[in-house]
Every structure is written in structure tokens, then in C-alpha cells.
Amino acid sequence: MAIQTQVAKPLRYGILLLPHAAMADLALITEVLSRANQLAEKKLYEFLLLSPSGDAMTLTNGIKTAVDLPLSYAPKLDGIFVIADEITSDVDADELGKTIHAQATDKLQLIGIGCGSYWLARAGLLNSYRSTIHWQEINRFTEEFPEVIVSSNLYEIDRNRMSCAGGASTLDFMMVLVGQQHGHEFAAQLSELFSMERIRPGNERQRIPLATRIGASQPKLTEAVSLMEANIEEPLTTDDIAYYVGISRRQLERLFKQHLSAVPSKYYLELRLKRARQLLQQTSKSIVQIGLACGFSSGPHFSSSYRNHFGITPREERSSRNTGKNASE
């Protein structure tokens, strides 16, 4: 049975592949659009593969992929996905910017995937817009484009400018995009075809490796945090961590205060609470089970610690998750 959707006319997207674009991002975008058509039993979306010159593009996995047209020859589009997995000198930035500008209208959606938002910003198309990029390029992105409001979120949707960190977050972003256009119920059913337990919201932050955030010059601190992450259910004491890392407790506390602005015990507690929140949102485990799995010896201790950190109790967190889920069904 065909599902009634909100848009009668098919939306036409151009998918612009830049050198070394990620096959995973291309596959997820095209698969979601194709599956949406199948689910609706009518054509909701059309898409064209594009490249700057019309030549085939070699993707990150080495596969050379033919395209339909050069960007400059593309027909009228409703949106353009710009897919890039790295910032490379192989791109003629000035020419690319001119071509995208020629396509841009007030209604055209411009969507940067992975490092695609870098090239949109380079063309001046993200000034005063919220945008994200893959975590490896966040510092460069922030420094080069002060007019862009940069976040480390999984994806950003700011009017007709959108961006996504790429990889697994591309699937979440595509579901939200489809949901905006054809309703949350349709997106929920589409997500089930991909066996998604949930659609992550855009304001979830990318998981940026600690070594990247603080630099590789602090191996003891990185090792200490890795120990914490590996011992969530049965937390180690600060003295234990210092012993295993091979430094004094005072040295460990100094490293945490200098680089993470927290004492080790507070940072450890926040790790455990963030893990608990993830389990509350993503699993059906009981609140007691989750508290024990995250190193809390009693329900009241877990509840009070959770409320002090997040402003709501674990029960309220679970309730809000269920309410949101029901609203989309």
C-alpha cells in the first residue's frame, strides 16, 4: 500500500562528487532516496551524479565512478549535495565556487557532506549560517571561515544550508531530511528498512578522539582517559588510574585540570553519566540495570547524580525519549 506523502512533485537533487569523495556517503544518500521512492510507490526523488568537469571521479576506496553531467550543465535542481572526504588541492576552488553560485537560488538547498561544507564556505555560501564538518577539519574550518558559525555536531540544518559530518551520521541526516519533506511517520518507516534503532538528532556531538582535542603531546592523559572508558561498570579510583598510568596522583590531577578543566573524578563521573544517557535513549534496559552498568551502587545515587548533571532524572529522560518516539509513529 502506497504511503501518502506531503510533496507531489519529485525533488531533483544533484550529487556533486569531488576528488576522493567517500563511497559510503554516496551510497547512503542514493540508497535513502531510492528506498523512499520504493516505500512511497511513486517517485519522490530524482538524482543526478555530477562532477566539476563531467569526468569520472575516483572515490576513497579507489573505485572510479562515472557521473551523468558536469555541474555547469546540470538542469534546474532543488538541491545539491557536495561530497568530499578530504580537503585537497585537486579541486579548483575558484571555478567550483563560480559554478555553484551560478546554480544557487533562494530556494536551492546546498548540503555539504563530510568535508563538502568546506567548499561551500570557500565559495562564501555559508556566511552567517550554522555548519559542521568532519571532526578532523573542525579547527581548520573555524580558522579559515570566521563568518561561518561552526559546530562539532553530527549535522546542521540552517534554513536552506545544511551540512553533515559524513559517515554514519549521513544516514541520520538523510532520515531527518526526508522527514522534513514527507513527514515523520514516513521517515520512521523508512528508518526501519535500514534497521535503525533510532535517528540521532543533529545536536549530538561528533565523538572527537581525545588525542585530537588535546594533541599527541599528552600520552599519559590519553591513557588515563582510555582506562576510564574501559572501566565504566566498575570504576577505578584516581589512585588506581595514576598507578596504572605510571605517574603520581598529583601529576594526574594537574594534567586533567590543565587540559580538561576538571579533576579526574569529575571527568570520570561525566563519562559514566553520558554512557548512562546513551543507554537510556537507545536501549530498553531498566533504569536500575543502567545505573549498575555505569558504576552506580544504588538507584538513588544514580538518579541524584544524573539530575545534578543533566537537570532531569533518568525516569524523565526515558519518558521524554518515549514521548518523542510516539510522536514520530
d(C-alpha 179, C-alpha 176), whole Å: 5
> Is the pLDDT higher at 222 or at 302?
302
pLDDT above 50 for 171: yes
Range picked from 159-163, 223-227, 229-233, 323-327 for highest mean pLDDT? 159-163
What are 52's three cell numbers? 566539476
Q: Which helix (H) or strand (E) holds 228?
A: helix 219-230
Q: What pLDDT sits at residue 214?
A: 67
Q: What is the dihedral of CA 166, 216, 268, 153, to 10 degrees?
A: -20
pLDDT tens digits for range 182-203: 999 999 999 999 999 889 888 8
List of domains in the chain? 11-194 (3.40.50.880), 210-321 (1.10.10.60)
Q: Which of 82, 207, 202 is nearest to 136 (CA)?
A: 207
pLDDT tens digits for range 279-290: 888 788 899 999
Q: What pLDDT sits at residue 249?
A: 95
pLDDT above 80 for 209: no
φ, ψ (nearest 5 deg) of residue 19: -50, 130
pLDDT above 70 for 5: no
Percent of the chain with pLDDT over 90: 68
